[in-house]
Amino acid sequence: MRIFLKEEYKGKCQICDYTFPKRNSQPYFEGLYLVSQTRARWIDDRGNVLCLCANCCAKFKQGSIGAEDILEQIEEKVEKSNPVLHIQLCGEDVNIRFSKKHIIYLQALLNASSQNDSH
């Protein structure tokens, strides 16, 4: 997952675009899984992880998150060249930017999940 995120985002946070070089000159970022290991078998799917800075990652883990129409947003954004999802994070409106490849993985993951739920 880290290789994929580094290739797609150069280690920059998908929300605030922040990163910094570690001692080894590699960009620092955290991979945050949207669905935890305890809730799903497909945890290691590229569509299930975000590239975040430490601050935004902590907000996701500890703060409030709101996204009323997130599934509709994902469906709409797949055709866009620079997909962005709009959410509320800790009471602030923020955008999560996605690469075209990453949003397609996310949509495929959601489609597979909904098909499994319907069986």
* Residues 77, 96 contacting (CB under 8 angstroms): no
Please compute the mean of the pLDDT values over residues 17-36 and round it to a whole number: 94
User: In total, how many domains does the chain have?
Assistant: 1
Please report the pLDDT score of residue 109 as a whole number: 86
Position with higher pLDDT, 46 vs 37: 46
Range of the domain at 39: 2-118
**85 vs 24, 75, 97, CA distance in Å?**
32, 10, 6
* Residues 84, 96 contacting (CB under 8 angstroms): yes
Please report the pLDDT score of residue 84 as a whole number: 94
DSSP code at position 63: S
Q: Tokens 């998908």 map to which residue?
A: 14
pLDDT tens, 47-95? Answer: 999 999 999 999 999 999 999 888 888 888 777 788 999 999 999 999 9
